[in-house]
Chains A and B, each alone.
Chain A
Amino acid sequence: MGHKYSLNVVYFCTGCGIIEVPPSITARWDAERFGIIPVATPRQANLFLITGYVSVKTLRAIIRTYEQMPEPKYTVGFGSCPINGGMYFDSYNTIKHLDKYIPVDGMIAGCMPRPEAIFIGVTHLWTLIDKDMADGYKRYRRNYSAYRANQERVLGKLEWPPLFPAPGEE
C-alpha cells in the first residue's frame, strides 16, 4: 500500500514532455490527490518519469539519477520518443529505445500525451504494483551486466563503478 499511494516523482525534465507535468500537479488535474508529488532529489523519489526525447548527454544523467533512487523504484517513459525515437527517429544524437539502457515499467504513448493519460498510466502502474509486475528494478539487478554493456556502447567508458557486482565476483 505504501508504495502504491505514495509515488514521489523526481523532478527531471529530459525534453518537451515536462510541459504536461505542471498542469497535472496544479489546480486543474491535481495529482496530489493520489499521493503523487514531485520531489527535488532522486534519493527521495520512487517514480522516474522520462518526459520526452533522450539525447546521449541526457542518458548519462538519467542513468546516474536512476541508480541513486532507492528500491523499489519505477520508471515510466512519457511520450513516443522514449519508445522508439518518435519524430527524432533518424537523429544521430537521440537514444531510440530507452529500455535498452534502463528498465522501463511502462510507456505512455502520444506526442504529447494529455495529462489524463498520465493518470491512466498511474492507475495502470498501480495494477502492476499490485500484481508485482512492476519489477524493473529487479530486472536491472538481474541483468545489470547486459544493461551496463549497452550503456557503455553508447557513452563510452563510464566514470562510475558498477552499481552491482558482476555475477561471478560476489
Chain B
Amino acid sequence: MESMVMHTIELLVSPLLALLIGIFFLGLSRKIAARIHWRYGPPITQPIIDIIRLLSQKSANHGVAFNIGLILSLAGSLTIVLFLPLGRIAPLSDSGGMLVILYLMLIGPLGIAISSGASANPNASIGVSRKLLLSMGYELPFLLVVLAIMTAYHTTSLTEMVSVQQATGWAIVSFPLVLSGIAYLMILPAMLGVRPFEVVGAPQEISSGPLVEYGGPYLALATLQHAFALFIGVSLFVNLFLGGAANPVFFFLKMLVVFSLGLFVNAVFPRLRIDQAIRYLWRWPSLIAFAGLILVCVTGR
C-alpha cells in the first residue's frame, strides 16, 4: 500500500517537475542569449506570461488531424518523461528501459508533422520535411551512442545504467565511452533544435516552419511540447553519461550545466542549411560514435 501511494505520487510529480524545468529552460535560454548579445533580456518568467496570453486567445482551427497530431506529440513527450529517471524519481523506468524511449522519441516529431501537415501551409510542409530529415540525421549517431552504452553496461535499463555509473564512475570519464559522450554532445544541439541546427523553425526563412499556422492555445501546447523536448534531450544525456543523480536537485544542477553549454553554442552560431546539417551529422558525430562502439566491443567489458 505504502509503495503504491509513493508510485502514484511519483507518476504525478515527474511530469510536473519536467514541465517546470522545461519552462525554466525556455526562459533561461532567452535571458542568456540576451546577456550574450549585451542586452538586458526579458524576465525569466516570460514564457509563462506568453503561455497565459496564448491560452486566453482563440485561434483558427484546421481540422481534426490538426488537433490530434498536437495532442499525440504532447502525449508522446509526456510518456517519455515517465520512463526517464529523474534523480531517485523513476516511475516507470524499470519496466521499459532505453528501447521504449527509442521508440517513443519518434512520436514527438511525427505528431507535429501530422498536425502541421493538416494546416496545409507550404511553409509548414517545408518545415516538416526538414524536421524529419534532421531527425533522420541525428538518429543514426544517437543509435550508435545508445548501442555503445548498452553494450558496455550489458543492460537496456536506464536505472541500472545510472546505478552502475554511481558505483564505478561517470561514463563520460571512462575510456571507450568518452567517445560516445563526445558524439552525443555534438548532436545535442540538433536534438534540442537550437541554433546551428535551427533549420526546422527558421523564422526568417520559412516563417517558423511547422508552427506557422499555430496560434493561441495551439501555440501554447506546442510551446509546452518544446519545453518537454528540451527536458528529454538534456536529461537523457545526464542519465546516460553523467551518472544520473541521487536526488532531483543535483539532477537539475547537472542538467543546467549541460543546457548552458548548448545555449552558448546557440547564442553565437549562425544557422546551417539542411544539407550542411545532414552532412555534418552523418560525418563527424557518426564517425566518433562508430569508433566508440567498435572500441567498446573490442575492449569487451
User: A: which residues have CB within 8 A of B?
Assistant: 1-3, 5-6, 8, 11, 26-27, 30, 32-35, 37, 39-44, 46, 68-72
Interface residues in B209-229 (C-beta closer than 8 Å to A): 211-216, 219
Q: B37 interface residue, CB < 8 Å from A?
A: yes
Give the Cβ gap from A121 to chain B, nearest Cβ, in Å. 19
Kindly list chain A residues whose C-beta atoms are within 8 Å of the C-beta of B212: 40-41, 43
Q: Closest CB-CB distance, A24 to chain B, in whole Å?
A: 11
- What CA separation (Å) do A72 and B56 show in the bound complex? 9
Check A72–B203 contact: CB distance below 8 A.
no
Once the chains bind, are A43 and B60 in contact (CB under 8 Å)? Answer: yes
Q: Which residue of A lies closest to B124 (CB)?
A: A41
Q: Does the CB pair B40–A44 fall under 8 Å? A: no
The number of residues on chain B lying at the interface, defined by a beta carbon within 8 Å of a beta carbon of chain A, is 30
With a cutoff of 8 Å between Cβ atoms, the chain B residues found around residue A27 in the complex are: 37-39
The 8 Å CB contact of A32, one of B30, B38, B208, is: B30
The answer to whether A44 and B219 touch across the interface, beta carbons within 8 angstroms, is: yes
Interface residue ranges of B159-215 to A (CB < 8 Å): 203-204, 207-208, 211-215
How many angstroms between the C-alpha atoms of A46 and B216 in the bound complex? 10
Asked if B34 lies at the interface with its beta carbon under 8 angstroms from chain A, I say: yes
Q: A43-B60, A44-B208 are in contact. Are A33 and B41 (CB under 8 A)?
A: yes
Please tell me which one of the listed residues A1, A11, A30 contacts residue B49 in the complex, with CB atoms under 8 A apart: A1
CA distance A2 to B37 in the complex (A): 26
Starting from the known contacts A2-B50, A70-B58, 20 additional A-B residue pairs (CB-CB under 8 Å) come to A2-B49, A2-B56, A6-B46, A6-B49, A6-B53, A8-B50, A26-B37, A27-B37, A27-B38, A30-B41, A32-B41, A33-B39, A34-B42, A41-B215, A43-B213, A43-B216, A43-B219, A46-B53, A70-B57, A71-B57
